[in-house]
Amino acid sequence: MPSITPELYDFIVKVVDDKVKDIRVTREEFDKLIATVDKLAEAQRRTEQRLEQLAEAQRRTEERLERLEAVVEQLAEAQRRTEERLERLEAVVEQLAEAQRRTEERLERLEAVVEQLAEAQRRTEERLERLEAVVEQLAEAQRRTEERLERLEAVVEQLAEAQRRTEETLATLASQVGGLSDTIGFGLEDVARVMIPGWFERHMDIVVEGEFRPTYVSGDGKEFQVNLFGKGRRADGKEVILAGECKSSIQRREVASFAKTLRAVRKAYAEMDVVAFMFGYLVHPSADEEAEKHGILVLAPYRR
C-alpha cells in the first residue's frame, strides 16, 4: 500500500473539512426550510379556517338577504293596501264634507223654522187660553148633561121620550162643536203651515218647497177642496206632491171623507208620488186605523 505524503494528507483533510462544512450549511438551511414549511402549513390552516368562517358568514348573509327580500315584499304589499285605504278614506272625507255642507244648509232652514215656531207657539198659547175657556164651558155643559141623564134614569117610564129629547140635545151640541171646530180649523192651518215642513224634513227627509196653500182638484165629475197643498223634494231629488187636511178633532169619519178627496188628488197627479196627511189638535184611535188603510199620515202638535 503506497504511503500518503504529508501534502496529500493535508489536501484530503482540507477536502473533508470543506465537505463537512457544506453538509452543515445544508442542514441549517433544511431546518430553516422545515420551519418555514411549518409556518406555511399553520398559515394555510388559519386561511382555511378564515375561508370556512367567510363561507359561513356568506351563508348567513344570503339567508338574511332572503329574509329581507320577503320583508320588502310584505312592505310593498302593505304599502299597496295603505294606498288603497287612503283612496277610500279620501272618498269618505269628500262625502262627509258634502254631508256637512247639506247639514249646515238644513240647520239654517231649521233656525228659520224655529223662529216661526216660536211665533206660532206664542199665538198658540193665546188661542189655548181661549180654548180653555171654551173647555170650561163644555165641562159645565157636560155636568148639566150628566144631571139630566141621572134624572132620565130615574124616570124609566118616560125613557122613550127622554131618549128623543137627548138625541135632539146631542145633535145641537154636535152642531155647536162642529162650528167651533171650523173656527179653530182656520187658525189650525196656520199652525200646520209652520210645523209640518219641519216634521217632513225630520221624519221623511222631504224638504217642502214654498208654502202650503188651498187648492181644488176634479175627479169623478166632482170638485174637491184640499186645505193644504204643496210640493216637496226627497233626498234623492225626486219631487213629491203633499196633500193635507186640517181638523181640530180627527175621527174615523173625517179620515174617510178626506180619503175621497185623496183619490181625486192621486188620479190628477198619477205620474208623481202623493204624500197625504191630516193635522189636528186631537186624534181618535179610530182615525189612525182608518188612515192606515188609505196611506194617510195623521199628525198632531203632540206627535213631534
pLDDT tens column, 250-303:
999 999 999 999 999 999 999 999 999 999 999 999 999 999 999 999 999 888
Q: Using H for helix, E for strand and C for coil, what is the string for 68-129?
A: HHHHHHHHHHHHHHHHHHHHHHHHHHHHHHHHHHHHHHHHHHHHHHHHHHHHHHHHHHHHHH
Q: What pLDDT score does 216 carry? A: 94
Q: Which amino acid is at 89?
A: L
Q: What pLDDT score does 162 carry? A: 61
Q: What pLDDT score does 171 carry? A: 40
Q: For residue 2, what is its C-alpha cell?
A: 503506497
Cβ contact 187:301 at 8 Å: no
Most confident of 107-111, 181-185, 260-264: 260-264
CB neighbourhood size of 209 (10 A): 13
Least confident of 94-98, 132-136, 224-228, 278-282: 132-136
Q: What pLDDT score does 290 carry? A: 95
Q: Which amino acid is at 293?
A: K
CATH placement of domain 155-299: 3.40.1350.10
Least confident of 96-100, 124-128, 214-218, 224-228: 124-128
Confidence of residue 186 (pLDDT cuts 50, 70, 90): very low
CB neighbourhood size of 113 (10 A): 17
Mean pLDDT of 208-225: 90
Q: What pLDDT score does 255 carry? A: 96
Most confident of 108-112, 170-174, 184-188, 263-267: 263-267
Q: Of 32 and 237, which is predicted with more confidence?
A: 237
Cβ within 8 Å of residue 113, ≥6 positions away: 194, 197, 198
pTM of the model: 0.41
Average pLDDT of every residue of the chain: 81
Residue 155: DSSP 8-state: -
Confidence of residue 134 (pLDDT cuts 50, 70, 90): low
As a whole number of angstroms, the distance between CA 70 and CA 67 comes to 5
Q: Which amino acid is at 49?
A: Q
